[in-house]
Chains A and B, each alone.
Chain A
Amino acid sequence: DGGITQSPKYLFRKEGQNVTLSCEQNLNHDAMYWYRQDPGQGLRLIYYSQIVNDFQKGDIAEGYSVSREKKESFPLTVTSAQKNPTAFYLCASSILDVNEQFFGPGTRLTVL
Chain B
Amino acid sequence: AQKVTQAQTEISVVEKEDVTLDCVYETRDTTYYLFWYKQPPSGELVFLIRRNSFDEQNEISGRYSWNFQKSTSSFNFTITASQVVDSAVYFCALRRDDKIIFGKGTRLHILP
Contact = CB atoms under 8 A, between A and B. Distances in A.
Interface of A: 31, 33, 40-43, 45, 48, 50, 58, 88, 90, 92, 99-106, 108
B47 A101 contact: yes
B33 interface: yes
Interface of B: 4, 9, 33, 35, 37, 42-47, 50, 91, 95, 98-100, 102-105
- Interface majority SS on B: helix, strand, loop or mixed? strand
A88 B45 CA distance: 12
Query: For A33, A40, A42, A90, which residue has the most chain B Cβ atoms within 10 angstroms?
Result: A42
14 contacts: A33-B99, A41-B104, A42-B4, A42-B102, A42-B103, A43-B102, A58-B99, A90-B43, A100-B35, A101-B47, A102-B47, A103-B44, A103-B45, A105-B43
Nearest to A104: B44
Given A40-B105, A45-B100, 4 more contacts: A40-B104, A42-B103, A90-B44, A99-B50
